[in-house]
Amino acid sequence: MQSPNDTESAAFYPSTTDGDIRNLRLPKRRKRIALVAQGGGQRGIYTTGVLDSFLDAGFDPFELYFGTSAGALNISSYITRQRGFGHHFITQYTTNDRFFNLVKYVRRQQFMDLDWALDMAGPNNVDGLRVEQARGVLSERSAYACVTNTHTLEPDFFHLFEGDWVNVLKATCAIPMLYPSPVQLNNNFYVDGGVSNAIPAREAFNRGADIIVVIRTEPVVEDKAPVSSVLVENLRSRMEKRLPDYLARLNIEDRLGKLSEFHEQLSNRLEDIRHRYRESTPEPLWHKIREMMPKHKHQNGGRWLFGGDSIYRLHASRGKSSMQICWKC
């Protein structure tokens, strides 16, 4: 038997049937779309082509932008609406001897001059990035660059075109051993974001992206080109000899646990490379490459376009070669 209170409650809170629920239409939330740009040095010229095509078509549905190394630079020029900026940066600045010269680096005379390149691309240069334009685009959007914390070896993300954003770009491109020191941001030190997170798609998801568009600078399929295991062992040896000195410059020589972890990760990566590529000839591949190289100096050529794994080839290239090496940012 219902009490009067029950009757009042039933009248005040009318029952809802399953049909009512099915017919109930909630307002749809607009999907958040994120753009993620991988690094890859001069391979980033592919990314510049994609983003310039977006600009030509007036296409920018993105609310979130994420970039690592060269990807962060390309994202920056896309946000500033400067068509051709990324192409010019890669073809004019990163091919300049002032930026990097292999022979001088091997002789320990010159590191990668990232400071000069970013000065040329910075807001103080008449042809540099247009900061105010970027801030207008980002008034209701967010853009991030990925960097690697030298203490935790984990990725961190900093806003582009906010605060000390030029040093954020420098940090995301500061390749260990090619750039002389880590970059300080706030109270921490950072190096190339590609060390910890070359494609920060997970970060885009964690920040609420429903659709994630990724621009890669390397193929998804594994490269089956043969590489000699002798070369891999040579690279491992050279890297392991130089790691302690470099880590000492990061002021983490007292963190033996991190040093051991870093060493193990490097060894595992090189071991993976050796298993991925089968040795097709008993003769070391590097010896063949050196025999094929011309004896005279290359005229503004002989540059390597390389990504993550290939950077280790640098440390096997000591000798008489005059080949230049270019940027892996």
> What are the DSSP calls for 221-269, one per residue?
SPP-----HHHHHHHHHHHHHHHHHHHHHTT-TT-HHHHHHHHHHHHHH
What is the reported pLDDT for 143? Answer: 97
What is the reported pLDDT for 19? Answer: 52
What is the reported pLDDT for 202? Answer: 95
Distances (CA, A) of 304 to 74, 183, 307, 323: 20, 25, 10, 8
Query: Is 237 labeled as catalytic in the residue annotation?
Result: no
265 φ/ψ angles, rounded to the nearest 5 degrees:
-65, -40
Q: Which of 192, 228, 317, 321 is catalytic?
A: 192
Q: Are 27 and 205 in contact (CB under 8 A)?
A: no
Q: Whole-angstrom Cα distance, residue 69 to residue 128?
A: 18
Strand pairing of 211-215 and 64-68? unpaired
Query: Is 192 labeled as catalytic in the residue annotation?
Result: yes
What is the reported pLDDT for 177? Answer: 82
Please provide the distance, in angstroms rounded to a whole number, between the alpha carbons at the two ends of the chain. Answer: 77
Q: Whole-angstrom Cα distance, residue 289 to residue 153?
A: 34
pTM of the model: 0.63
pLDDT tens for the chain, 329 residues: list them.
455 555 444 444 444 454 554 555 656 778 999 999 998 888 999 999 999 999 999 999 999 999 999 999 999 999 999 999 999 999 999 888 888 877 777 777 678 888 898 988 888 888 889 999 999 999 999 999 999 999 998 999 999 999 899 999 999 999 888 888 899 999 999 999 999 999 999 999 999 999 999 999 988 765 555 555 666 666 666 666 666 666 666 654 455 555 566 666 666 666 665 655 544 444 444 444 445 444 444 333 333 334 444 443 444 444 433 333 334 44
Q: Which of 52, 69, 156, 196 is catalytic?
A: 69
